[in-house]
Homo-oligomer: A and B are copies of this chain.
């Protein structure tokens, strides 16, 4: 059975998590440095928003996700960050649709 596009997308995100988790220390979890690299390399649109490249932003995001305070983000904790990403890209998706609509109807 071939995977659907949505299934490929889910696996892509999961694969990305594990690629960065495997870099150093515990190969199943993200350290602060691994999370930072994952975000900078893979979600530049998210990181492009004002203030997100500031070190304290990533540190605060990491701390908010790290529910058991073991200074590592496990996969279940990463779902919190994924939720933030999906919400951010949803806004971008809507803005793009709106811009496309405005261009088509010469509203600007």
Chain A residues close to B by CB (< 8 Å): 1, 3-16, 18, 41-45, 75-76, 79, 82-83, 85-87, 89-90, 93
Contacts and interface: CB of A to CB of B under 8 A. Distances in A.
A9 to B, nearest CB: 4
Contact of A44 (B4, B83, B87): B4
Contact of A7 (B1, B11, B89): B89
22 contacts: A3-B45, A4-B41, A4-B43, A5-B16, A6-B12, A6-B16, A6-B42, A9-B10, A9-B12, A10-B13, A10-B43, A11-B89, A11-B93, A14-B86, A14-B89, A14-B93, A15-B93, A76-B87, A79-B83, A79-B86, A79-B87, A83-B83
